[in-house]
Structure 1
Amino acid sequence: MTLDEAIIHAKELAENQSICKDCREEHKQLAAWSEELKQYKEEKIQETNLDHFQQEILEKGLWNLAVVKGGPKRCDRTKCIDCELRKDRSRGCHEKVMDWLKQPYIKSAYKLTKFEKDLLQSYSNIYKYKFKAIPVLIRMKEKGYFKDINEDATVKGILADCEITEED
C-alpha cells in the first residue's frame, strides 16, 4: 500500500459511520499524520555543495578552492577569469568559497559521456538549434546514446548544463 493509498483509506474510515467513534477519531489522526509524513518526504532536505563535493575535496586535497563549471578546483591551478567566484569583487575569495559550499547543490540536468559531449561540441556552428533538428543526433539517440536528453533542448543549453559521466 502506498502512502497516498493509506491516506485515502484512513480518511474513508474516519468518515465511516458503521465503526465506533473512537476508531473514527484514530483513523482521522492517522490520516493527519500520514499527510504530514507525505509533506515531509516531498520537502526533502537540500544537499549543499559541501555535502555533494566533500569526498572529492578531501581526496584531491582541495583546501584552497576555486569554482569552475559548478565544481571545485584547485585555486592555485585555476585562472581567476575561469573561476565563477570572481564576479563579486567586494569580498575575499575565502568568504565566497564558504558561501558557495553552503549553497544548495544544483544537479546538472544532463549526464553525457565524453564522446557525447565532444560530438555535441562538434556542432558549434549550430548551437542555437534544437537537438531534435539534427538528424544524426536523433539517430544516435535511437541507438542508445544521449539517453536522458530532452529533444526540445538546444545544443547550447545541453552543453551549458551537463556533466561528464563514466563511459558505459
Structure 2
Amino acid sequence: MGLSFRGEFNQKVDGKGRMSIPADFRVVLTDGDPRCPETPLPRMVVLHGKHLNNCLHAYTIEAMEEIEAGIKALPRGSEARKRASRMILGKSWDTEVDKDGRIVLPQRLRQQIGLTGEATMAAMGDYFEIWNAETYAETEAAEAVAMDAEFDGDFDPLTLIYPPEKPSKNPPESE
C-alpha cells in the first residue's frame, strides 16, 4: 500500500491555469507513478464531470490503474461498464507535474468548477479534490452545520470509522 494524500492546501491559480501542487501531494504522486524516480516528473490523472459536484478528483497513476481494472472486470457491453467508462475514463485528463511543481489546468476544467484566483486541494486518502476555494469553504461550512444538527453538536469523526457496537438481540445464555 502506497502513501496517502493528507492535508488541505490553498494555492493561487494564474490566468493561464498554472497552479502549484503541494509538496506533500507531489511525494504521493511520485510514489504512485511506476516510472518514478527514473523519470522525476510525476504524472497524475484528473477526473472531471458534473457528477463530481463542483470539484475535480486527482489520482496517482497506480490508483487510476486500480480503477481501470475495476472497469475492465465489468462484463463487456454491460450498461455498468459503459457508464463507468464514460463517467470515469471519458472524463479523465492525464497530466504531468512540471519541474517547478506545477500543472496547467485547462480552461474547460477551470470553468467547470468556477476556478478563478485560488484553489483548495483537499486530501481524500487515495486521491485529492481540487475546488474553487470559495466553493470549498461554503461546502465545508454547510457540511459542518448539517453534522452539528444531526449529532446535536457532539460529533467525533472517528465514529464514522469505528461505530459503536450494537447490543446483541439475544442475551447471553447463562451457564
Higher strand proportion (structure 1 or 2): 2
Could you state the TM-score of these two structures normalised by the residue count of structure 2?
0.19
Could you state the TM-score of these two structures normalised by the residue count of structure 1?
0.20
Higher helix proportion (structure 1 or 2): 1
If asked which structure has higher relative contact order (CA below 8 Å, sep 6+), I would say 2
Task: Answer with 1 or 2: which has the greater Rg.
Answer: 1
